[in-house]
Each structure stands twice: as C-alpha cells, then as structure tokens.
Amino acid sequence: MFFGISHPIKLNSLLYAKIYIVKPVQGIISIMNKDVIDDLQNDWSIQRPDLNSEPMGVILRIQALAKIFGEQTASRLQDFDLQWWQYDVLSTLRRQGKPFIMAATELAGSNMLSSGAMTNRIDRLEEDGLVRRIKDKNDGRRVLVQMTNSGLKLIEKATEARFETATNALDNLDASERSSLSSLLRLVLNNQNV
C-alpha cells in the first residue's frame, strides 16, 4: 500500500524540508525541497559525471537570488521615483549622519565609480533638487556634496521600504538562520579576489 506522511524536519541550521515517507515498511524517503537548479545539477551529473556540480548549484542560487532581490528592490524604489544609482548615492550620504555631506571624490570611491561617472550622477541629483554642491572652505579645489531636505525626506521613506523588502525576502528564516547565512556568505565574499 502506498501512502505518504508529511513531516517537517530541520536538515541543518540553514535548510528545512518536508520528508514524505513513502512505503514506510521499506523505509524509502525522499526530500521534496527541490528547485530548478537541482534539475540542472542532476543533468550535468549525468552528462558530465567528471564535474562536481555542487559548487555550481550554490553559485547559481546566489545569482538567481541576486536577480530576484534586485528586481524586488528596484520595484519598491520605483514607488519613490528612484533608480538604483540614485538610491546608492543618497543612501551613502544618509549613512554619514548630519549634515549628510561628503567630498565628491569620497562619494565616488564609496560607490565604486570613477570621478566622471560620479560627477554625472551628482549633476542629475542636483537638477532634481536632492543634493547640492558646496565649495570646501578649507580647500577651494575640493567639492563637497550635501543632501538637501528634499533628498533626506525621500531617502528616509525609500530606505524604510528597502529594509522592509529585505526583511520580507528572508521572513522564512529565523534570526539564527539569517545570522548563519550571513556568516557563510561573508566567508565566500571575503575569499574572492575583488
């Protein structure tokens, strides 16, 4: 007789799955926590058994999540008429605390941009009334960028939405699991030659 009983179990600190016991007399179990990447890995294991598909599965899941999370965030930022690059510059200024000001060169470095690219972004944000340029009183060659009150109001609301989106994306993980995942991803990130 075939029947199944669903049991949620914790496989490790990061992964939950439901175990369906089929034919309990014979003790056959199968894990039903699969995704399309599992199928891809299986295909490669059959076609190229000489290659280890496990690391590729991890990388593909990270890439898929980056795309999904990026799209979710971009959608939320559109609610505030913001694009990613605008959010990045404004949030960098916001993180500095009052008076929300940075040298243009430091702002470029913080956003991993050339000075020319940052100049273009500052121009556009200034046109929108979100930032203003100020001459450095101590060094006339240095340009400072300060967020305006309009920029501050906008980034406060957008940041709340950004944090809410991140929280919702991980709401199926408890605090311990989020911490473990963060530690593992940090380990991988720190191992890269970037």
Answer yes or no: is pLDDT of 141 > 90.
Answer: no
Instruction: Determine the pLDDT at residue 34.
Output: 80
Instruction: Give residue-wise pLDDT tens across range 70-104.
Output: 999 999 999 999 999 999 999 999 999 999 999 99
Residue 25 DSSP code: T
CA distance 73 to 67: 10
Q: CB–CB of 1/16 below 8 Å?
A: no
In this prediction the pTM is 0.72
CA distance 74 to 129: 21
**Alpha-carbon torsion 162, 165, 170, 176, what sign?**
positive
Instruction: Give residue-wise pLDDT tens across range 17-37.
Output: 433 333 343 444 444 578 889
Q: What percent of the chain has pLDDT over 70?
A: 82
Residue 114 DSSP code: -
**Cα angle 124-126-129, degrees, rounded to a multiple of 5:** 115
3-state secondary structure of 31: strand
